[in-house]
Structure 1
Amino acid sequence: MIVHGNRFTFKPGASPEQVEEALESLRNQGRSIPAVTSFTVGRDHGGEYEWGATFLIEDLDGYWEYLTHPSHLRTDRIGLPLVDRFASFDITDDLDPGMGAKIAALHQRRYDRDPELTRLVSDLGEYSGSAAPGPHA
């Protein structure tokens, strides 16, 4: 099992309508991506970010399905331009010591296939976590 999570803060200029559209797009990912078995989207408490989202995924094949699903791509296109600070993380009960590298490789494969995503991630004010340092140019 893999819990994939994001923590983020929107740019000060993001309107309430833009924020809600991005959050609803994240919720739609949870509802529409078959590989997601449960999800949470909401306020981030106890940290330095405003919002967060987690998605429970069975395995690496499901993780790839999640990363490349059209609803995830939509969230990237509407949400990333609004985000200032972003962190991703993954928690897994898989004991494979190479799991972190395998997850990072999926993210890199996605960057390699999608130049627009690469640009959006590269434009973030701060980016850390499981897919960081981000796309390699």
Structure 2
Amino acid sequence: MLRFAFRDGTTEEEKERVLTVMRRTAALDSVSFGVVGQSLEPHGGFTHAYCVGIEGLAALDRYMNDPVHLAGDPEILPHLARLAIGPDLCDDGDPGFGDKVMALHERKAARYPEWAAQLGPLLVTDA
């Protein structure tokens, strides 16, 4: 789950392009389902949301490192003012599952430091 807000001055055309790129990413083979659009409960200043269902850690690793996903982020991130990243929900009973997800994120950040540097200033952790 991602919750996000666009930067001030982002045009409607740019917003639609970002949402289109997100929908492309949400349609990857590693994704079971996806939805992208306006947030119906825009708390914390977030106006939009992106939610995907991903079946397990192996699929999540494929999703995070898929060339389509990697190509989309440079088109998306420059238009965002703030971003909160899940995971917000999991049906796996493993109490360490969240840590395993974070480990995948940290490996991606180490592998793509320019991506991590672009993402870092947008992250909101108290949302």
TM-score, structure 1 normalization: 0.84
Structure with higher strand content: 1
Corresponding residue to 1:11 among 7, 10, 23: 7
Equivalence for 2:94 = 96
Which AA in structure 1 matches 2:52? F
**Partner Cα distance (2:25, 2:10) in 1:** 21
Two-structure CA RMSD over aligned residues (Å): 1.3
The alignment of Structure 1 onto Structure 2 pairs a total of residues equal to: 123
Q: Secondary structure at the match of 2:92?
A: coil
Contact 1:29 1:71 in 2 (8 A): yes
Deviation at 1:20, TM superposition (A): 0.9
Contact 1:66 1:72 in 2 (8 A): yes
**Partner Cα distance (2:91, 2:116) in 1:** 29
Contact 2:42 2:48 in 1 (8 A): no
Sequence identity (%): 31
Corresponding residue to 1:46 among 41, 44, 48: 41
Equivalence for 1:79 = 76
Unaligned runs of 5+ in 1: 130-137
Equivalence for 1:64 = 61
Contact 1:25 1:71 in 2 (8 A): no
Corresponding residue to 1:21 among 17, 20, 29: 17
Structure with higher helix content: 2
Contact 1:23 1:41 in 2 (8 A): yes
Equivalence for 1:114 = 112
**Partner Cα distance (1:15, 1:22) in 2:** 11
TM-score, structure 2 normalization: 0.91
Which AA in structure 1 matches 2:124? Y
**Partner Cα distance (2:85, 2:121) in 1:** 16
Q: Deviations over 1:46-103 (max 9, x none)?
A: 1321110111111000001111112211221111111111101121110101001000
Deviation at 1:122, TM superposition (A): 2.2
**Partner Cα distance (2:112, 2:124) in 1:** 18
